[in-house]
Amino acid sequence: MDVGSVTAVSVAVVGVVGTLLSALLTQRAELARERRGELLDVRSCYVALNTATRQYLAALTDQVHALRRDGSGPVRQRLTDARDQHRDVYAEAQLRVPDPVLDLAGQLSRELGAVYGMVKRLDAGAPREGDSVTGAQERIDVLWHLLREMRRRMRAELGVPATAGGREAALPPPAGHRETERGEGTPGTSGTRRGRDGREW
C-alpha cells in the first residue's frame, strides 16, 4: 500500500471516529438536557406541594384560633380554598415525585384531612367523641414537624445540602417562580415557625 493509500485510509478512519464521537456527545448532551428538564419539573412540583401544605396548615391554625374566639367569618372560606388547592397539588405530585417524598406527602394529606374534618365538626357545633380545639391544635403542631421532614426529603432528592449548624437550606424555586405563602404557626403572619426552645423549623 503506497503512502497515498495509507493517508486516505487514515483520513477515513479519523472521519468515522469523529462522526461516532460527535453522535455520542450529542446523545449525552440530549440526555443531560432531558435530565435537567425532569429535575426542574420535580422541583416545581416540590415548591407547589410545600406551599400548598403550608397554606393548608396555616388555614387550619387560623380556624382553630377563630374557634377559640367563637367566630370564624372569612376564615372558613380560606380553609376550604386551601384544602382544595392542596388536593389538586397532591394529585399531581402522586404522578411526579419519588417514593421517599410521596410517602410523607401521603401521610400529611391523610392527617390534614382528618384534622380538617375535626375542625369542621367543631365549627358546626357537632363534635364527635375525642374532638376538641386543643386536640386539633396538638395534631396541627405535629403536622408542622412532619412538613419539615418532608422538606428535608425534598432537599435530599434535589441534592441540596444542609447549611452550617444543621439548619435547613432553602428549597430553591424554579426560575421565574415566586413562592408566596402564609407563615407557619401564627395566623396572618409570615416567616418561620419557632418551637418553645426558640429554634426555627
Average pLDDT over residues 67-93: 90
- Alpha helices of 69-178 — where are they, by DSSP H? 75-96, 99-124, 133-158
Q: pLDDT class for 193, splitting at 50, 70, 90? A: very low
Average pLDDT over residues 169-195: 43
> Residue 1 pLDDT more than 70?
no
Please give the mean pLDDT across all residues of the chain. Answer: 79
> Residue 90 pLDDT more than 80?
yes
Q: pLDDT class for 46, splitting at 50, 70, 90? A: very high
| Contacts of 123 by beta carbon, 8 Å cutoff, 6+ apart | 63, 67, 72, 76
- Confidence at residue 94, expressed as pLDDT on a 0 to 100 scale: 94
| pLDDT tens, position by position, 55-79 | 999 999 999 999 988 766 789 999 9
DSSP conformational letter for 40:
H
| pLDDT tens, position by position, 109-149 | 999 999 999 999 999 999 999 999 999 999 999 999 999 99
Reported pTM: 0.68
DSSP conformational letter for 173:
P
What is the identity of the amino acid at 58?
Answer: A
